[in-house]
A = this chain, B = another copy of it.
Amino acid sequence: MDYQAVLEEVAAHARPYVRQGRVADYIPALERVSADRFGIAVADIHGEVYGVGDWEVPFSVQSISKAFSLALVMAQSHGGHDDGIWRRVGREPSGTPFNSLVQLEAENGIPRNPFINAGALVVTDRLQTLTGDASTSMLHFLREESGNPDLAFDQSVADSEAEHGDRNAALAHFMASFGNLENPVPSVIEHYFWQCSIEMSCRDLAVAGGFLARHGLRADGSRLLEAREAKRINAVMLTCGTYDAAGEFAYRVGLPAKSGVGGGIIAVIPGRCTLCVWSPGLDARGNSVAGAAALDHFTTLTGWSVF
Protein backbone atom coordinates (compact mmCIF):
# COMPACT_ATOMS: atom_id res chain seq x y z
CA MET A 1 0.00 0.00 0.00
CA ASP A 2 1.39 3.38 -0.99
CA TYR A 3 0.15 5.24 2.05
CA GLN A 4 1.51 8.59 0.93
CA ALA A 5 -0.41 8.45 -2.35
CA VAL A 6 -3.57 7.32 -0.61
CA LEU A 7 -3.34 10.12 1.93
CA GLU A 8 -2.89 12.67 -0.79
CA GLU A 9 -5.96 11.43 -2.62
CA VAL A 10 -7.88 11.37 0.65
CA ALA A 11 -6.82 14.92 1.43
CA ALA A 12 -7.93 16.09 -2.00
CA HIS A 13 -11.29 14.41 -1.51
CA ALA A 14 -11.74 15.91 1.96
CA ARG A 15 -10.69 19.42 1.00
CA PRO A 16 -14.22 20.65 0.07
CA TYR A 17 -15.44 19.60 3.51
CA VAL A 18 -12.86 21.72 5.34
CA ARG A 19 -14.51 24.79 6.90
CA GLN A 20 -17.83 22.95 6.95
CA GLY A 21 -19.38 22.50 10.35
CA ARG A 22 -18.65 24.65 13.37
CA VAL A 23 -15.47 25.02 15.37
CA ALA A 24 -16.14 24.17 19.03
CA ASP A 25 -16.81 27.44 20.77
CA TYR A 26 -17.78 26.50 24.28
CA ILE A 27 -14.33 27.44 25.49
CA PRO A 28 -12.34 30.35 24.08
CA ALA A 29 -9.12 28.38 23.71
CA LEU A 30 -10.75 26.02 21.20
CA GLU A 31 -12.67 28.75 19.41
CA ARG A 32 -9.47 30.46 18.35
CA VAL A 33 -8.29 27.58 16.15
CA SER A 34 -8.52 28.26 12.43
CA ALA A 35 -11.28 26.38 10.64
CA ASP A 36 -8.98 25.97 7.64
CA ARG A 37 -6.80 23.33 9.22
CA PHE A 38 -6.68 19.84 7.81
CA GLY A 39 -4.11 17.13 8.45
CA ILE A 40 -3.99 13.37 8.28
CA ALA A 41 -1.36 10.85 9.32
CA VAL A 42 -0.97 7.09 9.21
CA ALA A 43 1.38 5.05 11.35
CA ASP A 44 1.74 1.48 10.20
CA ILE A 45 2.38 -1.31 12.66
CA HIS A 46 6.10 -1.23 11.94
CA GLY A 47 6.36 2.40 12.98
CA GLU A 48 6.49 4.02 9.56
CA VAL A 49 4.58 7.30 9.53
CA TYR A 50 3.06 9.16 6.61
CA GLY A 51 1.26 12.47 6.62
CA VAL A 52 -0.35 15.18 4.59
CA GLY A 53 -1.39 18.76 5.30
CA ASP A 54 -1.26 20.03 8.88
CA TRP A 55 -0.30 16.63 10.17
CA GLU A 56 2.46 17.96 12.41
CA VAL A 57 0.51 20.82 13.95
CA PRO A 58 -0.53 20.21 17.56
CA PHE A 59 -4.18 20.53 18.52
CA SER A 60 -6.22 19.85 21.62
CA VAL A 61 -6.87 16.11 21.90
CA GLN A 62 -9.99 16.56 24.02
CA SER A 63 -12.05 13.34 24.08
CA ILE A 64 -9.48 11.35 22.15
CA SER A 65 -7.73 11.15 25.52
CA LYS A 66 -10.60 8.91 26.69
CA ALA A 67 -9.27 6.03 24.59
CA PHE A 68 -5.85 6.34 26.20
CA SER A 69 -7.14 6.61 29.76
CA LEU A 70 -9.22 3.47 29.23
CA ALA A 71 -6.17 1.65 27.88
CA LEU A 72 -4.05 2.77 30.83
CA VAL A 73 -6.62 1.62 33.37
CA MET A 74 -6.91 -1.75 31.64
CA ALA A 75 -3.10 -2.03 31.49
CA GLN A 76 -2.66 -1.11 35.15
CA SER A 77 -5.16 -3.67 36.32
CA HIS A 78 -4.02 -7.04 37.54
CA GLY A 79 -1.81 -8.59 34.91
CA GLY A 80 -3.52 -6.64 32.21
CA HIS A 81 -6.80 -8.52 32.67
CA ASP A 82 -10.18 -6.84 32.78
CA ASP A 83 -10.85 -5.53 36.22
CA GLY A 84 -13.46 -3.84 38.28
CA ILE A 85 -13.74 -0.86 35.95
CA TRP A 86 -16.52 -2.71 34.14
CA ARG A 87 -18.58 -2.88 37.29
CA ARG A 88 -18.53 0.91 37.35
CA VAL A 89 -19.06 1.72 33.70
CA GLY A 90 -20.96 -0.11 30.95
CA ARG A 91 -20.08 -0.96 27.38
CA GLU A 92 -23.28 -0.05 25.57
CA PRO A 93 -23.78 2.86 23.18
CA SER A 94 -25.53 5.69 24.94
CA GLY A 95 -28.34 6.33 22.48
CA THR A 96 -28.47 9.94 23.63
CA PRO A 97 -26.23 12.99 23.47
CA PHE A 98 -22.81 12.51 24.93
CA ASN A 99 -23.21 14.25 28.23
CA SER A 100 -26.75 13.20 29.01
CA LEU A 101 -27.82 12.68 32.59
CA VAL A 102 -30.93 10.74 31.81
CA GLN A 103 -29.49 7.28 31.52
CA LEU A 104 -27.14 7.94 34.40
CA GLU A 105 -30.16 8.52 36.59
CA ALA A 106 -32.09 5.54 35.29
CA GLU A 107 -29.10 3.27 35.75
CA ASN A 108 -28.01 4.20 39.25
CA GLY A 109 -24.99 6.28 38.44
CA ILE A 110 -23.35 3.70 36.15
CA PRO A 111 -22.46 5.47 32.90
CA ARG A 112 -23.30 3.69 29.68
CA ASN A 113 -19.73 3.49 28.38
CA PRO A 114 -16.24 4.89 29.01
CA PHE A 115 -16.40 7.37 26.14
CA ILE A 116 -19.29 9.53 27.25
CA ASN A 117 -18.16 12.22 29.67
CA ALA A 118 -19.61 10.50 32.72
CA GLY A 119 -17.87 7.25 31.85
CA ALA A 120 -14.59 9.00 31.20
CA LEU A 121 -14.80 10.65 34.61
CA VAL A 122 -15.13 7.21 36.18
CA VAL A 123 -12.12 5.96 34.18
CA THR A 124 -10.08 9.00 35.21
CA ASP A 125 -11.13 8.43 38.80
CA ARG A 126 -9.90 4.85 38.55
CA LEU A 127 -6.64 5.92 36.89
CA GLN A 128 -6.15 8.43 39.67
CA THR A 129 -6.50 5.66 42.25
CA LEU A 130 -4.18 3.35 40.35
CA THR A 131 -1.43 5.89 39.60
CA GLY A 132 -1.84 8.68 42.13
CA ASP A 133 -1.73 11.20 39.28
CA ALA A 134 -4.03 10.40 36.40
CA SER A 135 -3.16 13.28 34.09
CA THR A 136 0.62 13.16 34.52
CA SER A 137 0.73 9.41 34.06
CA MET A 138 -1.16 9.80 30.80
CA LEU A 139 1.11 12.61 29.63
CA HIS A 140 4.20 10.47 30.33
CA PHE A 141 2.70 7.53 28.49
CA LEU A 142 1.85 9.66 25.45
CA ARG A 143 5.33 11.22 25.37
CA GLU A 144 6.98 7.82 25.43
CA GLU A 145 4.63 6.20 22.98
CA SER A 146 4.65 9.05 20.47
CA GLY A 147 8.37 9.56 20.84
CA ASN A 148 7.68 13.26 21.30
CA PRO A 149 9.08 14.47 24.64
CA ASP A 150 7.62 17.93 24.09
CA LEU A 151 3.99 16.94 24.54
CA ALA A 152 2.38 19.12 27.20
CA PHE A 153 -0.85 20.18 28.77
CA ASP A 154 -2.32 23.42 27.54
CA GLN A 155 -3.07 25.26 30.75
CA SER A 156 -5.32 27.81 29.07
CA VAL A 157 -7.50 25.03 27.75
CA ALA A 158 -7.64 23.23 31.09
CA ASP A 159 -8.48 26.49 32.85
CA SER A 160 -11.18 27.30 30.31
CA GLU A 161 -12.72 23.88 30.69
CA ALA A 162 -12.80 24.35 34.45
CA GLU A 163 -14.50 27.72 34.05
CA HIS A 164 -17.16 26.18 31.85
CA GLY A 165 -17.19 22.88 33.65
CA ASP A 166 -20.53 22.99 35.47
CA ARG A 167 -21.95 20.14 33.44
CA ASN A 168 -19.02 17.86 34.18
CA ALA A 169 -19.20 18.90 37.84
CA ALA A 170 -22.88 17.96 37.77
CA LEU A 171 -22.07 14.55 36.29
CA ALA A 172 -19.33 13.92 38.83
CA HIS A 173 -21.41 14.94 41.83
CA PHE A 174 -24.30 12.90 40.53
CA MET A 175 -22.18 9.77 40.24
CA ALA A 176 -20.68 10.51 43.65
CA SER A 177 -24.23 10.54 45.04
CA PHE A 178 -24.48 6.93 43.86
CA GLY A 179 -21.09 6.08 45.38
CA ASN A 180 -19.45 5.67 41.98
CA LEU A 181 -16.36 7.83 42.53
CA GLU A 182 -13.33 6.89 44.62
CA ASN A 183 -11.65 10.29 44.73
CA PRO A 184 -12.96 13.77 45.59
CA VAL A 185 -15.03 15.36 42.84
CA PRO A 186 -12.76 18.41 42.32
CA SER A 187 -9.67 16.23 41.95
CA VAL A 188 -11.31 13.93 39.41
CA ILE A 189 -12.58 16.86 37.36
CA GLU A 190 -9.19 18.57 37.42
CA HIS A 191 -7.35 15.51 36.13
CA TYR A 192 -10.04 14.98 33.53
CA PHE A 193 -9.62 18.51 32.22
CA TRP A 194 -5.83 18.22 32.17
CA GLN A 195 -6.06 15.04 30.14
CA CYS A 196 -8.35 16.71 27.62
CA SER A 197 -6.04 19.69 27.31
CA ILE A 198 -3.02 17.77 26.02
CA GLU A 199 -1.83 19.09 22.66
CA MET A 200 -0.78 16.56 20.05
CA SER A 201 -0.42 16.46 16.28
CA CYS A 202 -1.90 13.88 13.92
CA ARG A 203 1.57 12.36 13.78
CA ASP A 204 1.81 12.12 17.57
CA LEU A 205 -1.62 10.55 17.92
CA ALA A 206 -1.26 8.05 15.08
CA VAL A 207 2.04 6.87 16.52
CA ALA A 208 0.88 6.86 20.14
CA GLY A 209 -2.21 4.84 19.19
CA GLY A 210 -0.16 2.20 17.44
CA PHE A 211 -0.70 -0.36 20.21
CA LEU A 212 -4.36 -0.59 19.16
CA ALA A 213 -3.35 -1.80 15.68
CA ARG A 214 -0.57 -4.01 17.09
CA HIS A 215 -2.94 -6.02 19.27
CA GLY A 216 -1.60 -4.46 22.43
CA LEU A 217 2.14 -4.16 21.76
CA ARG A 218 3.81 -0.84 22.49
CA ALA A 219 6.18 0.92 20.11
CA ASP A 220 9.14 -0.69 21.84
CA GLY A 221 7.67 -4.16 21.42
CA SER A 222 6.73 -4.58 25.06
CA ARG A 223 3.17 -5.55 25.87
CA LEU A 224 0.78 -2.92 27.15
CA LEU A 225 -2.39 -4.97 26.78
CA GLU A 226 -3.32 -8.53 25.96
CA ALA A 227 -4.41 -8.95 22.34
CA ARG A 228 -7.92 -9.61 23.58
CA GLU A 229 -7.91 -6.36 25.52
CA ALA A 230 -6.73 -4.30 22.58
CA LYS A 231 -9.47 -5.82 20.45
CA ARG A 232 -11.98 -4.98 23.10
CA ILE A 233 -10.94 -1.34 23.24
CA ASN A 234 -11.36 -1.28 19.47
CA ALA A 235 -14.84 -2.76 19.89
CA VAL A 236 -15.80 -0.07 22.37
CA MET A 237 -14.39 2.58 20.01
CA LEU A 238 -16.47 1.24 17.15
CA THR A 239 -19.73 1.09 19.10
CA CYS A 240 -19.24 4.18 21.29
CA GLY A 241 -16.30 6.24 20.04
CA THR A 242 -17.98 8.96 18.03
CA TYR A 243 -20.59 10.29 20.45
CA ASP A 244 -24.15 9.46 19.38
CA ALA A 245 -23.12 9.02 15.76
CA ALA A 246 -21.34 5.72 16.35
CA GLY A 247 -23.86 3.75 14.31
CA GLU A 248 -23.62 6.19 11.44
CA PHE A 249 -19.82 6.18 11.66
CA ALA A 250 -19.68 2.38 11.62
CA TYR A 251 -22.03 2.42 8.63
CA ARG A 252 -20.04 4.96 6.63
CA VAL A 253 -16.47 4.31 7.72
CA GLY A 254 -16.49 0.92 9.35
CA LEU A 255 -13.49 1.47 11.62
CA PRO A 256 -12.97 1.72 15.38
CA ALA A 257 -12.49 5.42 16.03
CA LYS A 258 -12.44 8.02 18.76
CA SER A 259 -13.18 11.66 18.07
CA GLY A 260 -12.69 14.86 20.06
CA VAL A 261 -14.25 18.30 19.89
CA GLY A 262 -10.83 19.70 19.01
CA GLY A 263 -11.56 18.24 15.57
CA GLY A 264 -9.32 15.20 15.77
CA ILE A 265 -10.30 11.58 15.13
CA ILE A 266 -8.10 8.54 15.57
CA ALA A 267 -9.06 5.34 13.77
CA VAL A 268 -7.65 1.84 13.88
CA ILE A 269 -7.22 -0.77 11.17
CA PRO A 270 -6.36 -3.79 13.31
CA GLY A 271 -3.17 -5.51 12.19
CA ARG A 272 -2.34 -2.75 9.72
CA CYS A 273 -2.15 0.82 10.95
CA THR A 274 -3.50 3.64 13.08
CA LEU A 275 -4.76 6.87 11.50
CA CYS A 276 -5.33 10.33 12.86
CA VAL A 277 -7.14 13.05 10.99
CA TRP A 278 -7.76 16.62 12.12
CA SER A 279 -9.96 19.45 10.95
CA PRO A 280 -11.72 21.70 13.46
CA GLY A 281 -15.17 22.09 11.85
CA LEU A 282 -17.64 19.82 13.72
CA ASP A 283 -20.98 18.39 12.71
CA ALA A 284 -24.03 18.56 14.95
CA ARG A 285 -22.88 15.53 16.91
CA GLY A 286 -19.38 16.83 17.63
CA ASN A 287 -17.36 14.94 15.01
CA SER A 288 -15.04 16.61 12.50
CA VAL A 289 -16.86 16.97 9.17
CA ALA A 290 -13.76 16.84 6.98
CA GLY A 291 -12.22 14.21 9.25
CA ALA A 292 -15.15 11.84 8.81
CA ALA A 293 -15.17 12.47 5.05
CA ALA A 294 -11.46 11.68 4.92
CA LEU A 295 -11.80 8.40 6.82
CA ASP A 296 -14.80 7.44 4.69
CA HIS A 297 -12.74 7.97 1.56
CA PHE A 298 -9.75 6.15 3.05
CA THR A 299 -11.79 2.98 3.57
CA THR A 300 -13.34 3.34 0.14
CA LEU A 301 -9.91 3.56 -1.50
CA THR A 302 -8.29 0.78 0.53
CA GLY A 303 -11.28 -1.50 1.11
CA TRP A 304 -10.08 -1.69 4.72
CA SER A 305 -13.24 -1.33 6.73
CA VAL A 306 -13.44 -4.05 9.34
CA PHE A 307 -16.61 -5.33 7.64
- Quick check: B167 and A174 within 8 Å, CB to CB? yes
Can you list the 9 inter-chain pairs with the closest CB atoms, starting with the nearest?
A: A95-B95, A166-B177, A170-B174, A93-B93, A92-B247, A170-B173, A234-B307, A306-B306, A167-B177
Count of chain A residues near B, Cβ 8 A:
53
Which A residues, 204 to 245, have Cβ-Cβ distances below 8 Å to chain B?
227-228, 230-232, 234-236, 238-240, 244-245
- Quick check: A177 and B170 within 8 Å, CB to CB? yes
- Is A63 positioned at the interface, with any CB of B under 8 Å from its CB? no
The proximity string for A residues 100-127 relative to B, scoring 1 for CB distances below 8 Å and 0 otherwise, is: 1111110000001100000000000000
A100 neighbours in B (Cβ, 8 Å): 105
Which A residues, 240 to 270, have Cβ-Cβ distances below 8 Å to chain B?
240, 244-248, 250-251, 254, 256, 270
- Quick check: B246 and A232 within 8 Å, CB to CB? no
In-complex Cβ contact of A247 among B113, B227, B230, B254 (8 A): B113
- Is A85 positioned at the interface, with any CB of B under 8 Å from its CB? no
In-complex Cβ contact of A101 among B94, B102, B231, B270 (8 A): B102
> Looking at chain A's contact residues, is the secondary structure mostly helix, strand, loop, or mixed?
helix
Which A residues, 119 to 172, have Cβ-Cβ distances below 8 Å to chain B?
164, 166-167, 169-172
A251 to B85, CA, bound (A): 14
- CB A139 to nearest CB in B, in angstroms, measures 27
- Quick check: A101 and B105 within 8 Å, CB to CB? yes
A244 neighbours in B (Cβ, 8 Å): 92
- Quick check: B177 and A173 within 8 Å, CB to CB? no
Which A residues, 33 to 64, have Cβ-Cβ distances below 8 Å to chain B?
none
A245 neighbours in B (Cβ, 8 Å): 92
A6 to B146, CA, bound (A): 40
- Quick check: A90 and B247 within 8 Å, CB to CB? yes
- Is A289 positioned at the interface, with any CB of B under 8 Å from its CB? no
- Is A29 positioned at the interface, with any CB of B under 8 Å from its CB? no
A293 to B230, CA, bound (A): 20
- CB A77 to nearest CB in B, in angstroms, measures 16
- Is A27 positioned at the interface, with any CB of B under 8 Å from its CB? no
A112 to B93, CA, bound (A): 12
- CB A202 to nearest CB in B, in angstroms, measures 22
Supply 15 A–B pairs (Cβ within 8 Å), ascending by A. Answer: A92-B95, A93-B95, A95-B103, A101-B105, A102-B105, A113-B247, A166-B173, A166-B185, A167-B177, A169-B185, A231-B305, A231-B307, A232-B251, A232-B254, A306-B307
The proximity string for A residues 272-307 relative to B, scoring 1 for CB distances below 8 Å and 0 otherwise, is: 000000000000000000000000000010010111
- Quick check: B247 and A239 within 8 Å, CB to CB? yes
Most buried by B among A91, A92, A227, A270: A92
- Quick check: B236 and A247 within 8 Å, CB to CB? yes
- Is A96 positioned at the interface, with any CB of B under 8 Å from its CB? yes
- Quick check: B93 and A239 within 8 Å, CB to CB? yes
Query: In the complex where A100-B105, A236-B247, A247-B240 touch, is A176 in contact with B171 (Cβ < 8 A)?
Result: no
